[in-house]
Structure 1
């Protein structure tokens, strides 16, 4: 994971080291008020396979190009949404070669990404001082859900993170999952705490981990985070 260029999360090596052990999977989070909002999300079902190709154009420039040859996002207009009193204007994007779609705020920028098979992830930097990342885990979607949760919790314990709350039911546009609030030490001077909401999601074909790294108080950003999660579609 790459850090925000702002004092609040200027250095997050503890969370970078906690990228999914076996493939780049790992965590999920937002503070207590956001937990309640996320828990209200609902959704099920979904397409059994991702579209072969998006009939849209690739995003570039401020939208998050990390190399001159490619972009990690594809523009998907059906998920565009206007600004409201509580949520910024959002654009629809296709991620991970079409396996994930989401509506995200216009001013989120891609801070890091890797689409190598079994290591796929993308991290967004919000100007409102939090990181929003999506990691693909290598857990099989055919495994019993309790086994997947136990393995993820063991990953957290091995990485020295503290689970403040866990296994809260959540859902996105077409997946269901479990939410955790996690605390970890950042080896800065002085040593400080970082908090993350980590959400394990499963579709019939894959398991993802959504991680939101933030300060302890994330109330002001709960609406835009919830909106992004509500739109998240996994194929």
Structure 2
């Protein structure tokens, strides 16, 4: 991480901690990551207090803390060019899986089930290594994706990050699939019929997503080509 990016990230994390918590809660948050609370901070500012505590935290821990706070790098950063790490050299159809961090287990399970259909899912809280600039990696995935699925669990519409991801996908014009799991889609995508979860397991949801993508003109050719690559590599 560049020194300027580190300074910017710590500043944003400090402001987020200031907005969310009191001093006691900030200390609990720091202790969770084995970060010692600062000593002899001369100003009565939770922002300054938090920044002082974060100043010497190692990069991997700092990025984990930033991920929990949903704080990252500036949108449009030059670092967000290229493919994310897990899509480098893949021939699969690339699907961004938008989800709340509390439900990353559902996103990861769906990703695992989609893999058998030559669909490579991107799950932010799983596919970003601790040493990578996490928001830049998310932007890479949003720029590189062929399709987008949103897991609408309760509170999804209230997350700034998931709504930005949807806006990115909508502006790019990629195929968007809304999976309803407790909340209806809102905003621009509310007019599109959502895919209901009902009582179906992830395997069945993945099967239906594959069917939807196979019929859509924006994704059908890419999906067929990805599956053909798999077949071509199987010995007779």
The TM-score normalised by the length of structure 2 is: 0.22
Greater helix content = 2
Greater strand content = 1
The TM-score normalised by the length of structure 1 is: 0.22
Which is higher, the Rg of structure 1 or of structure 2? 2
Q: Which has the higher contact order (CA 8 A, sep 6+)?
A: 1
